[in-house]
A and B are shown apart, each in its own frame.
With several copies, the nearest count.
Chain A
């Protein structure tokens, strides 16, 4: 039966809470309301207010408390109402949670997940459109995932919940209701740390994740139809650790790489990916490693501005053409 990206996340939460009584859900308006986006809908009714907890507006507490519960064996899944507000729980994530195992000499762990609805293209403006993933992909001890399909949304969340480390799970708001898939019923997981080749092609590789996967696939189809170009599309899925092998493989196979993401260009993950390729696939490159991303500004409010700043299918097609022509 067809399931939206949003429903897939909701199912993963239901199933994992049923599977493991140590899983708990905590955040602002997650219980009674079922979350600002209804992602946690039904959990309160199913599991009660001891495991589905409405918190005060205290992001640092939300993350810090989940560390305290996690180090004692719970598996908290906490929600930032918008990924943008993760800046208010920042220290607890990058210091308290990320270094916990290390500073306890490997004898304690912090099995928790921070869910963060991220992404632009929804008229959210500066503080409801952010893609903060690259703040976390530079922090050892964390794992960072960003699913782009309903299947991955469900499978990766389950893996993150079962993982013994702090995982930051970025779910793209624009995908919540815009994509639907038939999901296998019953339990399935998607391994952390593995990219997925969504489309094969010998001419050029697009490496992307999250919100821009679908635009990239559309662009690849257009480039094939209109220009006869065979474009390969790699979906990173996990952003920390990166799937080096998959990245280098596709780069070596096609020799031309375009990295695409909705996060802004400078300091986005594209830099790290391009650097890996420039270092380890250098001999195979037939052209410069190109990046297409949001412009280096804030995500603006007025539609013409937002449109101008964000990547889209059109811009990707143009980038494909210019790189193919190189």
Chain B
């Protein structure tokens, strides 16, 4: 599907209008995908923990839009939009969430832990913050090889408390590496409000502690995010060294689909639900003279087709075969030697 060749910036010669419509399409696709995943989870078709990024689409869209092929991205656990924007096939992404053979990890790992390096998307572990040192290492490779690529690491304001985040930013600052740190500050880390997470206003203010610049922006305002992202990413690409962008946003749903989130105030939720990035951007497109009713209808249809096709593909993809659990433990060695012996050791227990 053409629209999955990756972010619009990668599509040469797009006009501004085309570009903006493309951004709109991405946000809508991500939203529809998120909602479908939540539904599939209720239907027990997506197992394990499901972390919705609904309401935060403008961040992923705005940050990924200026990226190019060859750039490296480590998404956080709510960023399924990153996979779509980077050109990962929606069907394979859906298969990943359903633990199917055609999923990115071939059913081995859950949700967004499966990566797809062929599209520069790193599958992060669950250990929050641990992907920042990895992104810094990717940036180190770019600088050693004098490649014009950049690395991007997304993290939450909660993950910001991990030591890995400090170690990563400090080294990036010392070596002036081409890496962008994106903090999605959605005010909660599971049940923990930002005030209990840090005694400061902005995580981005920490950038100065490492010798580079931090920027704060309204994360539900696509124009603001994409505008800032373009400037910052250009300067990183030009050798300006690392930067941090903190996007103020809000987690609409519970921490995971299991979490009713009773610990937070409904007023606050309502206020932030009213900061929906999509109608806000539609309003802008209207000012640009687009016929919104038509645009909505067309986009919804495209989006729904794409999502439905993804679900169909994933549903038809088989579960992996049991024995595959012993594959891919080691690169290019088929069965893990230890696993082979384990199978032997377990003998009858396993083979019967």
Question: C-beta contact mask, B101-132 vs A, less than 8 Å → 1, else 0?
Answer: 00111111110011111100011011111111
Residues on A with beta carbons closer than 8 Å to the beta carbon of B159 = 57
B171 to chain A: closest residue by CB: A61
Given A28-B190, A33-B190, A103-B105, decide whether A54 and B196 contact each other with a Cβ distance below 8 A. yes
Q: Which residues of B contact A74 (CB under 8 A)?
A: 141, 144
> Could you say which residues of chain A place their CB within 8 Å of the CB of B342?
264-266, 293, 295-297
Q: Which residues of A contact B266 (CB under 8 A)?
A: none
CB of B114 within 8 A of CB of A65, answer no
The reply to whether the CB of A177 lies closer than 8 angstroms to some CB of chain B is: no
A296 contact from B132, B338, B349, B352, Cβ within 8 A: B338
Chain B residues with CB under 8 A of A279? 345
B349 A314 Cβ-Cβ under 8 A: yes
- B13 on the A face (CB < 8 A): no
A314 to B350, CA, bound (A): 9
Q: How large is the interface on A (under 10, 10 to 19, 20 to 34, 35 or more residues)?
A: 35 or more
Please report the number of residue pairs spanning A and B whose Cβ atoms sit closer than 8 angstroms: 326
Q: Is A186 an interface residue (CB 8 A)?
A: no
Output the nearest chain B residue to A98 by Cβ-Cβ distance: B329
Residue in contact with A33 in the complex, picked from B151, B263, B345, CB distance below 8 Å: B263
- Nearest-neighbour CB distance to chain B for A232, whole angstroms, equals 19
Taking the closest CB of chain B, its distance from the CB of A175, in whole angstroms, is 18
| Minimum CB–CB distance for B19 against chain A, Å | 29
Q: Are A92 and B151 in contact (CB under 8 A)?
A: no
Q: Which of B161-169, B216-224, B225-233 contacts A (4 or more CB under 8 A)?
A: B161-169
Sample of 4 more A-B contacts, CB < 8 Å, known A69-B137, A71-B138, A124-B49: A53-B175, A127-B125, A128-B48, A296-B342
B324 contacts the other chain (CB 8 A)? yes
- 14 A-B contact pairs sorted by A residue (CB < 8 Å): A36-B190, A57-B192, A64-B130, A67-B133, A68-B72, A91-B130, A102-B105, A105-B104, A109-B331, A266-B338, A297-B325, A297-B339, A298-B108, A304-B319
Indicate whether B136 reaches chain A with its CB closer than 8 angstroms: yes
Cβ–Cβ contact B325 & A50, under 8 A? no
Whether a CB of chain B sits under 8 angstroms from the CB of A316 is: yes
Q: Which residues of B contact A68 (CB under 8 A)?
A: 72, 122, 133-141, 151
Q: Report if B347 contacts A (CB, 8 A).
A: yes
Closest to A81 in B: B190
Residue in A29, A95, A316 whose CB lies within 8 Å of B130: A95
CB-CB nearest 6 A-B residue pairs: A68-B137, A64-B133, A315-B349, A65-B137, A302-B107, A106-B328
Asked if residues B190 and A301 are in contact (CB atoms below 8 Å), the reply is no
A72 close to chain B: CB less than 8 A: yes
Instruction: List which A54-94 residues lie within 8 A (CB) of chain B.
Output: 54-58, 60-61, 63-74, 76, 82, 84-85, 87-88, 91-92
> Is B305 an interface residue when CB atoms closer than 8 A count as contact?
no
- Chain A residues with CB under 8 A of B133: 60-61, 63-65, 67-68, 92
Inter-subunit contact B107/A300 (CB<8 Å): yes
| Interface hit among A5-13, A196-204, A305-313 | A305-313
Q: Does B32 contact A (CB under 8 A)?
A: no
Known A104-B116, A123-B48, A302-B107; contact A141-B350, beta-carbon cutoff 8 A: no
Whether B137 contacts A64 by the Cβ 8 Å rule is yes
Contacts of A65 in B (CB 8 A): 133-134, 136-137, 140, 168, 171
Bound-complex Cα distance A124 to B111 (A) = 10
Q: Which B residues are closer than 8 A to A by beta carbons?
A: 47-49, 72, 99-100, 103-110, 113-118, 122-123, 125-141, 143-144, 151, 158-159, 161-164, 167-168, 170-171, 174-175, 189-192, 196-198, 263, 319-333, 336-339, 341-343, 345-350, 352
CB distance from A299 to the nearest CB of B (A): 9
> Which of A145-153, A220-228, A249-257, A318-326 forms contacts with chain B?
A318-326
**Closest Cβ of chain B: how far from A230's Cβ, in Å?**
20
- Closest-by-CB residue of B relative to A99 is B125
| In the complex, chain A residues whose CB is within 8 Å of the CB of B338 | 140, 240-242, 265-266, 296
Which A residues are in CB contact (< 8 Å) with B350? 295, 308, 315
Contact residues, A154-168 vs B (CB, 8 A): 164-165
Q: A24-B144, A54-B192 are in contact. Are A64 and B164 (CB under 8 A)?
A: yes
Q: Which one of B108, B170, B327, B330 lies within 8 Å of A302 (CB-CB)?
A: B108
- Residues B345 and A88 in contact, CB atoms below 8 Å apart: no
Residues on the A chain within 8 Å of B263, using CB: 32-33
Known: A57-B159, A106-B327, A296-B341. A69 touches B106 (CB 8 A): no
8 Å CB interface, A21-48 against B:
24, 28-29, 32-33, 36
Contacts of B134 in A (CB 8 A): 64-65, 67-68, 71, 96
Residues from chain A with Cβ under 8 Å of B123 in the complex: 100, 103-104, 108
**Contact, CB under 8 Å: B141 / A102:** no
Residues from chain B with Cβ under 8 Å of A28 in the complex: 189-190, 192
Q: Does A126 contact B (CB under 8 A)?
A: yes
- Taking a contact as CB atoms under 8 Å apart, the answer to whether A105 and B106 are in contact is yes
Find chain A residues with CB under 8 A from B164 CB: 60-61, 64, 91-92
- B191 near A32 (CB under 8 angstroms)? yes
In the assembled complex, which residues on chain B have CB atoms less than 8 Å from the CB atom of A72? Answer: 72, 138, 141
Partner pick for B107 among A64, A109, A110, A301, CB 8 A cutoff: A301
Which of the listed residues A36, A73, A76, A82 has the most CB atoms from chain B within 10 Å of its own CB? A36
A121 near B: Cβ within 8 Å? Answer: no
Residue of A at shortest CB range from B179? A68
B191 touches A29 (CB 8 A): yes
The answer to the question of A111 belonging to the interface, with a C-beta cut-off of 8 Å to chain B, is yes
The reply on A303 being an interface residue by CB < 8 A is yes
Report A193 CB to chain B, min CB distance, Å: 6
Check A33 against B117 for contact (C-beta < 8 Å). Answer: no
Q: How many angstroms between the C-alpha atoms of A187 and B195 in the bound complex?
A: 38
Tell which of A51, A85, A303 touches B99, judged by Cβ atoms closer than 8 Å.
A303
Q: How far is the CA of A190 from the CA of B310 in the complex (A)?
A: 48
The verdict on A96 contacting B320 (CB below 8 Å), with A28-B190, A140-B329, A297-B336 known, is no
